[in-house]
Every structure is written in structure tokens, then in C-alpha cells.
Structure 1
Amino acid sequence: MLGLKRIAIGTSRENVAFLSRACTPYRAAAFEGQEKVEVVAGGRRLVAALNLVDDPAILPPDCLGLSQEAFSRFGLPEGTIVRLDHPHPPRSRDALQAKIEGRELDGDGYRAIIDDIAHHRYGKVEVAAFLVGCGAFMTTAETLALTRAMADVGERLEWPGAPLVVDKHCIGGIPGNRTSMIVVPIVAAHGLPMPKTSSRAITSPAGTADTMEVLANVEVGLDHMREIVAAVKGCLVWGGHVKLSPADDVLIAVERPLNIDTREQMVASILSKKKAAGSTHLVIDMPVGPSAKLRSAADAARLRKLFEHVGDAIGLNLRVTLSDGSQPVGRGIGPVLEARDVMAVLENSPTAPEDLRERSLSLAGRILEFDPALRGGAGMARARDLLESGAAMKAMRRIMELQGPPPRIATLGALQREVVADHDGRVATIDCYRLARIARLAGAPFDPGAGIDLLKKVGDPVQAGEPLYRIHAEREVEFRFACGLAAEASGYHVNGNNGNGSASALGDIH
């Protein structure tokens, strides 16, 4: 028997156990080469990858260590006496192998796989193999089966007495598109319940949860979330904290480094979380543009049909709207800068970004028209009235108050450099993907004050030496990385008389 010890090592959602090579109760050599072990104590079992430790200062011979994530999931205190077992293969092993081989699975197969993934019975290698198998071949019926399986594992929210529970989701890919933080208070001010659970960024410069965390606490438990929605009709919280569709968090953590982002997995990910959150009515925003996830109207039409088919089958009243994905939305990329834009819109500031304002009003209008009390086509006017009257700002301040203060005060990064045009002309295109990469290298979203402040948008005239955008960073290393990438190619194409479309000159450091 071994004493349980917490090892302060993060392992990115994966369970990892540590065993001393000089372990006395167990022969470490008997486990060497094993992919996993099962840790058992107090009626609890945890499957974990095993690493052997040679330094007794890290782990004594009579202890078993668990990584931070594994220790938290196991839920027993340090010093608890545990034993080790050789784990049984996950019950979905045959179904997983069938998917890897390109075969079609039924609902039972997907339920078994998703249950094992959600309970961390597979490591990253097996999860990656599953994702690749799905990406290579997946029918519409399988997409529906995967969606149902993901929604059924984990917490399920119910909203008694609310026949209409609304939500919205953007498929992503457009920096600065922080419409949810404006739509939620507008809809809440109207009186429709909108319990918004949002994600943190994985490869983008900011997710809605990252940006909202500049203004308020987003790590809200289920009971507190229900209280907030009962009081003010809306919330903006981090979905990972309330454990809706937990298998999706595991899948995303493996998907993004491999750059796997199939339409089928996107639909299952989004709709499973909305169903688990208790939503009844949903608007999906799909930006289309040359550097967006959807590059053409044909791509958008195919994805729209898949969303509608799966949404109908799981009982969601779903509307899909297409939007302009040709350039970033608003002026800020990164949590602090995006929060600035959101508050400017809600405060009806004359300096508020017009594109963010109008896009948010359009989406809020579509959602409000789910309300049978509104006449068809009246949603946009109602949304505008709620914003301009200050009712939306009042609702937002109440949401912020009830969710609690942010964990830290976030300020704009002090390291600054401007990227300027190298010739006269007019901004023809902006590469969303390139700017997102630059903002990410600058430190966003981990440093909330890092990012890009856009000074010019598509169609704006510029003169040689005039700033196009400003890079902000909090740390010297990230600042250097971001400026280096911007110097290679700024992401802006400026049309001019000399035919040169580059705009990658860097201004002085501030």
C-alpha cells in the first residue's frame, strides 16, 4: 500500500501517476512498459498514465504521486492509503478500433467511447486516433449519434418554468467577434432567459470567457449560475467550470494541436453543449470570408444543413445566420481590448465600433424574435431600443455584480509597437488568421492585456508611415515574438499606385 501524494505538475487534462523506481510495496519493474495503472482507494478508481521517478526528493518510495489534474479528479486527501491495479481495457475498445479502421458506428458505440473519454480512461494517443478516424469518415447519422452521446455524459441543466431558453453561438475564426457579451444583456433586459456558457481560448487570442473575466468572475458553479439567471435572466460564465459535455473539453484539447476541425465534430461539440445547458432555441452565427473557417457560400450551405438536421433531431429550435468574416470585428484583439469594445457599445459611446454594435444588434434581434409576443421583424428594433435606452447596460452591470469581481485587475500591456503602412493607398484585405497569430504570440489570452489594437479597417485610406495597428504585450519575450511575425507579414494588404500590397514596417517601441 502507498500513501497518496499530490505532485505539483500540470498535465493538461491527462491523468498521470508517479511511482518511485525504488518503491517498496510494489515492484516498479512489473509496471514498467505499462501504458496505464488503476489507482484504487475508498471505493474510487482512477486510470492514469504511469511515470517512474528516480529522485526520492520528488517522491518517496512508499508514496504514489498524482498530477494536479488527477489528484483533483480522484478527490481524496494526501496521505490516503491507495493500491495499484492493472486496469481493465475500456469497454469501448472494440468500438474505438472499429472507428480507427474506418467503419460506421451506431449510437451504442459512440455512447461507450464518449463515456470512456469523459472519464479519462483513454490517453491522448487513443483520443487522437478516434478524432482522426472520425475526420476521415463520418456519416450524418454518426454525427447525430456523437452529439447525443456527448450531451448525455456530464451535467444537464434544467430551467423549470421557462418554456423558452435561448442561446447563441458563433463557430469562431474571426478575432474580436465578442458579440455574446452584448447580446446576453440585451436579451436578458427583454426578459428571455439566456444562461450563456462560453469557452476559453485554446488557439485563439481570446474566448468569450477570457474577455468576460476582465470584467467579472466566470468560474461560477451550477447552483450560483441558476441563482444569477433567476435574478437577472442571463449570465456569461465559463462552460468548463460547470462540466457540460465534459468529453468535449478532452476532445478539444487534442483536436487543436493537431489542427483537426471537421464540420461533423464542430456540430457535435456546439450542439451537445447547448442541449446539455437546457437551451430550447438557438441562433448559430457562421462568418464567411477568405481567412475564416468558412471560405465560401457553398461551404456555409453544407454546414448549415448539418446544423439544422442535427438540431431538429435533438429538439433544438435552431436558426443559422451568415455574417461577414472578411476582417476582424471591432478594434480590439485580446481580452482587455475586446472588453473595452464591448463596454463602449453597451455604454452607447460615440467611439464604439460600429461593426460590433450592428452585428450584435442583428443577432440579438434574431434571438428576440423567438419570443411569440414580438411581431415578426420587430426583434432588431426591440434590441436597438434596449441598447440605446441603457437597459442592456443595466442588465450587464447586474450580471457582473452577481457573478462577482474578476480574479485580478487586468490592464493593457505596456510594451507597444505600431505596424505602419509602407506606402499610400487603401486597406484592401485583412488576414484574420495572421492577426490572431500575432496577438497570440504577444501573450493573449494568458496575459489579458496583450493583443492588437486595430487602427485601420478594410476600405480605410492610409498614407505611408501611418499606423495600421498597435501591438500590446506585457512580457519582453512575447513582445519580440509578435513583432517578429508582424515584420515578416503584417496581415494587411494595402492597394497603392506602386502595386505593392505589403504593409509590414514597424514603428518605434513605446
Structure 2
Amino acid sequence: MLKLRRIAVDTHRENIAYLSRTCGQYHAEEFLALAKVEVIADSHRIQATLNIVDDPVLLGPDELGLSEEAFRLFGRGAGTPVAIAHPRPVDSLEMVRAKIQGRALNAGEYAAVVRDIAALRYSKMEIAAFLVACAGFMTTEEVLHLTRAMAGVGHCLEWDHKLVVDKHCIGGIPGNRTSMIVVPLVMAHGLTIPKTSSRAITSPAGTADTMEVLARVDIGTDEMRAIVEKIGGCLVWGGRVNLSPADDVMITVERPLGIDTREQMVASILSKKLTAGARHLVLDIPVGPTAKVRSHEDAVRLRKLFEYVAGELGLPVEVMITDGSQPIGRGIGPVLEARDVLAVLRNQPDAPADLRDRSLLLAGRIIEADPGVKGGQGIARARTLLETGAGMRAMEQIIEAQGPPPGPPPGNGSPLLEPAGAGYELLAPRDGIVQGIDCLRIARVARMAGAPAFKGAGVDLLKKTGDAVRKGEPLYRIHAALSSDLGFAAELAAQDSGYRFNGTAT
């Protein structure tokens, strides 16, 4: 037996085991590096990818190390006697091979694959093979099978309330933090809205990253339930409540590979909404030249797929196709986006009008799910709740219920909404009128500046589409916590600002 050791390495949802090359109990040659092994302690078993260690300081010859995630999942303390063995075959891999060969899988086969992915029995290479095969070919029925399978693992929340509503945007538009305005407005109306959101993987901020500027989002299932039962809503990180764990694992592979097909998008979103207990969903599909969906025709096809799968699963969904031609609001990055959200909720005169209007549109459509609200009156109701301060009071309830964000509190007792100190302004190369803004480029610049790892990093947009500019005027300001990040972001922006001009400024 070997002694279990916790290795402080974040391998991000991949179980990694570490074995010394000089181990006396097992010959490292029997267990090839990057091969799968099974770690065993009494009735506890976990599969992990093996790394061979040559440094005796990191790992002794009588020890077996587990990465942070694997150690947590294994659930045994440091020093526990453990053994390793060649893993039992993962039978569902035969189904992945069948999918690679072009065969449509049935419901039971998708259920088997998804169960093994959720149990972390697949390597990232095997997950990538499955995702690429699905991206190449999936029938509509397969999308339904995959969604059911993903909703069938993990927690499934049930609520006593008859009408539980939810809202989701497919993403791809920087600064589109409407959820942080919609949720308090819907709460203020009296509907139940337990909102789970994602963290950024390849974007400058997810809703969870931005909400974490204001309140704690790393909240477990029981606490989330208590918060929703008390105040009627929440804004928490979905990764902690384990609603669709297979999706959380697959996202870590598909996002870096740039795999984001409409079929996988539908399964991902609807599986999480089902397990969150939603009974009415409003879905936002932004369309624009640099958005995820580039044309109205593609948006209509995606809408029909959402409607079919959601209908088969008994989830009423209302799809809205919106303008995704440019970033929403001014700030791109957690602190800057939180600043814009609070400006809207506080009815500040300088609040971004596009963020305010889109939030009212979405909130109004959700409010119309209330049988007591007539069709067409939802947006007026949402506007009243915003202008009277009811939305801001509901946000304050959420912040109080979820607790303060991690890290030392600011001295004045209010959320620290100051951007990172180092700044650089990108200047207009000539006179003109802003014709378009590349969402992907702006997101890359903000990410290069350090967002979301540094909450105050990102991009502050000073000009939007339709604005007239003079040569030398600042188009946007880059904020970074580190001078190296600022240099990288400024260099990327200098290569291509992401702004397109037309005509001459007047």
C-alpha cells in the first residue's frame, strides 16, 4: 500500500494521480505516463490519469499523489493507505467509436457515455473525440437523447412554487450582463427565479465572475435552496450546485477547441435549466457579424431546435432574437460590468442605455409568464420596478443573502468598483463614424489585460457604433493590474482595434 498525498495542483476537472518513478511497491514501467489508473482505498475508488514524478521532494517513493480535484472527489484524508490498479474497461467508449464512424446513438447509449463523463472516467482526449464526432453529425433525436442524458446526472432541484422562471443568453457578446438586472426585477415582481450562471473559460467575464464582485457566488445546493425560499431568487455559480456535471466537464474541453455547435449548445443549456427546476424559460439569441450566431436564418434554425427539444422535455421556452452587432454596455471585465449593472439598477443618468433597454425587454417578457399580467404589459411593469428602486432593493436582498464576496472588504463597506490601476487608451487612427465593433476582438483584448483573473482588468468602451470620432480621440481604455498584461493587451489592440469606421466625423 502507498500513503495518499494531496498535491496542490489545480488540474481543472481532470483527475491526476502522481507516482514516483522509484516507487518500491509498483514499477512505474507497468503504468505508462498519461495512462489511466484506478486508485483504491477500502470501498472508495476513483479513476485518474497517471503522471510519473522524478522529484523526491514533490513525492516520496512510498506515496501516491492526487491533484486537488481528484483528492476532493476521492474523499479520503492524507496518509490513507491506497493501492493502484489498471482500471476496469469503460464500456461506453465503444459507443464513442461508433459515433466517430458516423452511427446515430440511441438514448441508452448517450446515457452510458454521459454517466461515464460525469464520473470522470474519460480522459480529455476521449471527451474531445466524443465532442468532435457529435459536432460532425447529430440528428435532432440525438440532441434530445443527449439533453435527457445530461439532465439525468447530478442534482435536480424541485421547488414548491408553481411558476419557477429562468432566463439565459447563449453568450458571445461582451458586457451583456442582463441577468444581473433581470433577476432582481423579476424577483421584485414576485416570481421565483433561481439563476445559476457560469464562470468565464475563454471570455473576459461570465455572469458568476461579475456577480462575485458584489456577493459570494460559490454556494452549495442546500444554501441556494434556502436563499431562494427566503427571498425568491439568487445569482450563483452553477458549477458548485452540480446541476449538469457532465456538461461542466465537456465545456472545459469544447471551449478551448472552439467547438460550439448548435446541437451541443441546446443540450448544454436545456439540461441545466431542467435540473434547476425551471418551468418557464426566456432565451436570448443575439445575432451579429462577430456573435456566436451570424445571421437571422441561423438564429431561426437554432430557435426551432430549442423549441423542439424543450417541448419534448416539457419545458415552455420563449426564444428572443436580439441585436448582437456590438458589445453591450461600456465595461468589459468583472468590475467594469458590475459598475454598469449598478448604474442601471440605481437609475443613474449615465447608465448604459443599451444594457438598460435589453434588460427591460427580457425582464418584461419573463414577467408576462405571470397569469396576472396581460400580454404586452410586462415591459411597462419592469420599467416601473426599475424606476421606483424596487429592482435595486431586490439586488441588495440577493447580496445580503449570499454574503460578501471573497477577499478583504473595502474600507467604506461597499463593493469596490474601481478598475485596475494601470491604463492605456486606444486612439482613433482617423476621423470617422464608428460603423462596427468586433465583439471577439474586444473580448480578446480584455482577456489579454487580465480579465477575469484580475477582477478590475478589462476594457472600458468610450465610443459605440454610430458615434462620430476625431483622429486621436480615445476609442476605449484598457485596464490591467500588471504592467506586462497591459503591454500584451495594448500590443494586440494596436494590431487591430476591433473598430471599423465609415465616412467622416462631423
Q: TM-score range by the shorter chain?
A: over 0.9
TM-score normalized by structure 1? 0.96
1:347 lines up with 2:346 in the alignment: yes
For residues 26 and 433 of structure 2, the distance between their equivalents in structure 1, rounded to whole angstroms, comes to 71
Which residue does the alignment assign to 1:179?
A: 178
Alignment of 1:293-312 (within 5 A): 293-312=292-311
Which residue does the alignment assign to 1:12?
A: 12
CA contact (8 A) 1:100 1:133 kept: yes
Structure 1, residues 164-220: CA drift from partner, whole Å, max 9, x if none?
110010000100000000000000011100000000011111000000000000001
Structure 1, residues 393-417: CA drift from partner, whole Å, max 9, x if none?
0010010001000103554111101
Which residue does the alignment assign to 1:458?
A: 465
Gaps (5+ residues) in structure 2? Answer: 410-415
1:419 lines up with 2:418 in the alignment: no
| Structure 2 CA distance for partners of 1:274 and 1:32, relative to 1, 3 Å | same
Which residue does the alignment assign to 1:64?
A: 64
Which residue does the alignment assign to 2:435?
A: 428
The residue matched to 1:45 in structure 2 has which SS?
strand
| Structure 2 CA distance for partners of 1:6 and 1:262, relative to 1, 3 Å | same
Alignment of 1:392-411 (within 5 A): 392-408=391-407, 411=418
Gaps (5+ residues) in structure 1? Answer: 499-510
For residues 449 and 288 of structure 1, the distance between their equivalents in structure 2, rounded to whole angstroms, comes to 28
1:473 lines up with 2:480 in the alignment: yes
CA contact (8 A) 1:16 1:48 kept: yes
Which residue does the alignment assign to 2:244?
A: 245
CA contact (8 A) 1:337 1:451 kept: yes
For residues 240 and 2 of structure 1, the distance between their equivalents in structure 2, rounded to whole angstroms, comes to 32
CA contact (8 A) 2:204 2:451 kept: yes
270-279 or 489-498: which moved more?
489-498
91-100 or 374-383: which moved more?
91-100
Structure 1, residues 118-148: CA drift from partner, whole Å, max 9, x if none?
0000101100000000000100000000000
Which residue does the alignment assign to 2:413?
A: none
For residues 308 and 420 of structure 2, the distance between their equivalents in structure 1, rounded to whole angstroms, comes to 45
1:384 lines up with 2:391 in the alignment: no
Which residue does the alignment assign to 1:508?
A: none
CA contact (8 A) 1:17 1:49 kept: yes
Which residue does the alignment assign to 1:41?
A: 41
For residues 234 and 307 of structure 1, the distance between their equivalents in structure 2, rounded to whole angstroms, comes to 25
For residues 395 and 247 of structure 2, the distance between their equivalents in structure 1, rounded to whole angstroms, comes to 29
CA contact (8 A) 2:422 2:480 kept: yes
CA contact (8 A) 2:33 2:52 kept: no
The residue matched to 2:452 in structure 1 has which SS?
coil
Identity over the aligned pairs, expressed in percent? 63
The residue matched to 1:480 in structure 2 has which SS?
helix
CA contact (8 A) 1:423 1:496 kept: no
1:168 lines up with 2:176 in the alignment: no
Structure 1, residues 40-99: CA drift from partner, whole Å, max 9, x if none?
113111001111112221111111111111111111100001111111111312111111
The residue matched to 1:159 in structure 2 has which SS?
coil
1:123 lines up with 2:132 in the alignment: no
- Offset at 1:27? 2.3
- Offset at 1:375? 1.0
- Offset at 1:32? 2.7
Structure 1, residues 411-456: CA drift from partner, whole Å, max 9, x if none?
4111101111122221111111110000000000111101111111
Which residue does the alignment assign to 2:83?
A: 83
Which residue does the alignment assign to 1:319?
A: 318
Which residue does the alignment assign to 2:412?
A: none
Specify the code of the residue in structure 2 equivalent to 1:101. Answer: Q
18-27 or 472-481: which moved more?
18-27
For residues 53 and 492 of structure 2, the distance between their equivalents in structure 1, rounded to whole angstroms, comes to 40
Which residue does the alignment assign to 1:372?
A: 371
- Offset at 1:230? 1.2
The residue matched to 2:284 in structure 1 has which SS?
strand
Alignment of 1:262-273 (within 5 A): 262-273=261-272
The residue matched to 2:24 in structure 1 has which SS?
coil
| Structure 2 CA distance for partners of 1:102 and 1:459, relative to 1, 3 Å | same
78-87 or 126-135: which moved more?
78-87
Which residue does the alignment assign to 1:502?
A: none
The residue matched to 1:225 in structure 2 has which SS?
helix
- Offset at 1:460? 0.8
Structure 1, residues 273-330: CA drift from partner, whole Å, max 9, x if none?
0001010100000000111111111100100000000010111110000111011100
| Structure 2 CA distance for partners of 1:475 and 1:33, relative to 1, 3 Å | closer
The residue matched to 1:481 in structure 2 has which SS?
helix
Which residue does the alignment assign to 2:55?
A: 55
- Offset at 1:496? 3.3
1:97 lines up with 2:104 in the alignment: no
Which residue does the alignment assign to 1:2?
A: 2
For residues 142 and 503 of structure 2, the distance between their equivalents in structure 1, rounded to whole angstroms, comes to 50
The residue matched to 2:420 in structure 1 has which SS?
coil
Which residue does the alignment assign to 1:437?
A: 444
Which residue does the alignment assign to 2:493?
A: 486
For residues 360 and 497 of structure 1, the distance between their equivalents in structure 2, rounded to whole angstroms, comes to 33
TM-score normalized by structure 2? 0.97
Which residue does the alignment assign to 1:196?
A: 195
Which residue does the alignment assign to 2:277?
A: 278
11-20 or 195-204: which moved more?
11-20
Specify the code of the residue in structure 1 equivalent to 2:494. Answer: A
- Offset at 1:464? 1.2
- Offset at 1:497? 4.5
- Offset at 1:33? 5.6
Specify the code of the residue in structure 1 equivalent to 2:301. Answer: R
Alignment of 1:198-217 (within 5 A): 198-217=197-216
The residue matched to 1:320 in structure 2 has which SS?
strand
1:446 lines up with 2:453 in the alignment: yes
Which residue does the alignment assign to 1:505?
A: none
Specify the code of the residue in structure 1 equivalent to 2:69. Answer: E
The residue matched to 2:5 in structure 1 has which SS?
strand
The residue matched to 1:185 in structure 2 has which SS?
helix
For residues 148 and 363 of structure 2, the distance between their equivalents in structure 1, rounded to whole angstroms, comes to 27
| Structure 2 CA distance for partners of 1:176 and 1:80, relative to 1, 3 Å | same
For residues 392 and 220 of structure 2, the distance between their equivalents in structure 1, rounded to whole angstroms, comes to 24
- Offset at 1:34? 6.9
For residues 262 and 68 of structure 2, the distance between their equivalents in structure 1, rounded to whole angstroms, comes to 33
